[in-house]
Every structure is written in C-alpha cells, then in structure tokens.
C-alpha cells in the first residue's frame, strides 16, 4: 500500500508539471535559465522581439515592428521594459512601446525537443533564451 501511495503522489506531481507533452519549469529552474540570457520570440502579428534579461530586471527590447511599422514608415524600434519571475513561477514581461504597453506573464514549458514555449508546447508560442 505504501508503494502504491508513493507512485500515486509521484504521478499527480508530474501531471501538474506536464503541459501538452512538455515540462513546466519550476520558479528556481526558470530563474536560473532566464537570468543573463537574450530572449527572442515571434509575436502573433509576426514581429520578432528581442531583449536581454539583465539581473536587475530591466532591459531594452527591440522589434522589427511588423504590427505597426509598414504603414507608419518606421520598421525597427526599441523600448524600455522589465522582466520578473512571479511567485507562482511565471515569466513576466512588460514593455513600454511607443503605441501601447505590452504586459504578460506565462509559465515556461520545455518541450521534448529541448525548446521552450509560453504556457504550452506549440510552435506559435516558442521563445528562446540564448546565453
């Protein structure tokens, strides 16, 4: 019976951390992964965004600005921002773009291929952390 209880607890714990064929990183794992890395991801509108996760929590983000750039005659732009790891272990980003503020938090999930994703394993939600 004791063995069965241990197996059941282990299964429940692992299912809490498994998200769509990936493994959700803990707060400590995420902090170690993210600090001092360059983040990059492709937004839903097709803009490539990049920033360096400085230990201070501050950064300057850059984008190729596909959402607003074409019609306005400006392409690439940059803006100040900040990052943090929430108490529940989410990666949180705030960027003060000229036209609007981007403010989001997401669990980071590691896929079976070693790539990282926002909330669930989905190629459209891939995010990179490069040293």
Domain boundaries, the chain: 2-130
Element containing residue 16 per DSSP (H, E): helix 2-17
Q: What is the mean pLDDT of residues 102-106?
A: 97
CATH 2.40.128 fits 2-130, yes or no: yes
Q: Specify the pTM.
A: 0.80
DSSP strand pairing (38-42 vs 48-52): antiparallel
Task: Please give the Cα distance from 72 to 65 (Å, whole number).
Answer: 10
Task: Please give the Cα distance from 9 to 12 (Å, whole number).
Answer: 5
The pLDDT tens digits of the residues spanning 25-45 come to 999 999 999 999 999 999 988
Task: Please give the Cα distance from 94 to 61 (Å, whole number).
Answer: 10
Task: Please give the Cα distance from 41 to 122 (Å, whole number).
Answer: 13
The pLDDT tens digits of the residues spanning 56-74 come to 999 999 999 886 655 555 6
């Amino acid at each position: 019976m004791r063995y069965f209880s241990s197996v059941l607890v282990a299964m429940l714990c692992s299912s809490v951390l498994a998200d769509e064929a990936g493994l959700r990183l803990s707060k400590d794992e995420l902090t170690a992964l993210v600090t001092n890395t360059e983040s990059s991801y492709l937004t839903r509108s097709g803009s490539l965004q990049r920033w360096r996760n400085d230990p201070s929590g501050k950064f300057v983000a850059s984008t190729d600005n596909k959402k607003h750039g074409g019609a306005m005659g400006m392409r690439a732009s940059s803006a100040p921002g900040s990052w943090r790891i929430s108490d529940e272990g989410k990666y949180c980003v705030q960027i003060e773009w000229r036209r609007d503020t981007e403010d989001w938090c997401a669990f980071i999930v590691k896929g079976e291929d070693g790539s990282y994703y926002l909330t669930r394993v989905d190629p459209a939600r891939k995010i990179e952390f490069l040293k």
